[in-house]
Chains A and B, each alone.
Chain A
Amino acid sequence: DQQVKQNSPSLSVQEGRISILNCDYTNSMFDYFLWYKKYPAEGPTFLISISSIKDKNEDGRFTVFLNKSAKHLSLHIVPSQPGDSAVYFCAAVRGGSQGNLIFGKGTKLSVKP
Chain B
Amino acid sequence: DTEVTQTPKHLVMGMTNKKSLKCEQHMGHRAMYWYKQKAKKPPELMFVYSYEKLSINESVPSRFSPECPNSSLLNLHLHALQPEDSALYLCATSAWRGSFYEQYFGPGTRLTVT
Contacts and interface: CB of A to CB of B under 8 A. Distances in A.
A10 B99 CA distance: 31
Given A43-B105, A49-B100, A49-B101, A99 B94 contact: yes
A39 B102 CA distance: 19
B28 interface: no
Contacts of A99: 31, 33, 48, 94, 96, 101, 103
Interface in B37-91: 40-43, 45, 48, 50, 55-56, 88, 90
Given A53-B99, A103-B42, A98 B50 contact: yes
B108 A43 contact: yes
Interface residues of A, number: 26
Contacts of B56: 98, 100
Nearest to A98: B48
Contacts of A104: 42
B57 to A, nearest CB: 11
B42 A49 contact: no
A34 B101 contact: yes
A41 B42 contact: no
A63 to B, nearest CB: 15
A46 B108 contact: no
Contact of A98 (B4, B55, B101): B55
Interface string A93-109: 10100111101111000
A49 B102 contact: yes
Interface of B: 2, 4, 6, 31, 33, 40-43, 45, 48, 50, 55-56, 88, 90, 94, 96, 99-108, 110
7 contacts: A34-B101, A42-B108, A43-B4, A44-B90, A44-B105, A51-B101, A106-B40
**The 5 A-B residue pairs with the shortest CB-CB distance in the complex, in nearest-first order:** A103-B42, A32-B101, A43-B105, A43-B108, A99-B94
